Amino acid sequence: MRAYRFLVTGRVQGVGFRAYVQAEARRMGYTGWVRNRRDGSVEAVVAGLDSSRADFFRQRLQHGPGMPERVHFESAEAPEGDDFRIESTY
């Protein structure tokens, strides 16, 4: 299963961004996790999508709550589990 790591910068903490990511991922049938990072960004690893769907998901994140400025994504190792969860800050 392919997975991608997304790193979102901008004003994305304290605005419901993680819940938005979780809802979008679950709606699309993806698994993985999302968490705040101490530097103010939000990181997510999303499994179950190909490169074109990863780009579509990136666009969804770009229009999420708050003021996302940049969404970077790259291939990642697929996380374990069969759900999409919110994890503790890293």
Q: Looking at the annotation, which residues are catalytic?
A: 18, 36
Alpha-carbon distance of 13 to 35, in angstroms, equals 10
Closest CA to 73 of 12, 1, 19, 9: 9
Q: Are 90 and 44 in contact (CB under 8 A)?
A: no
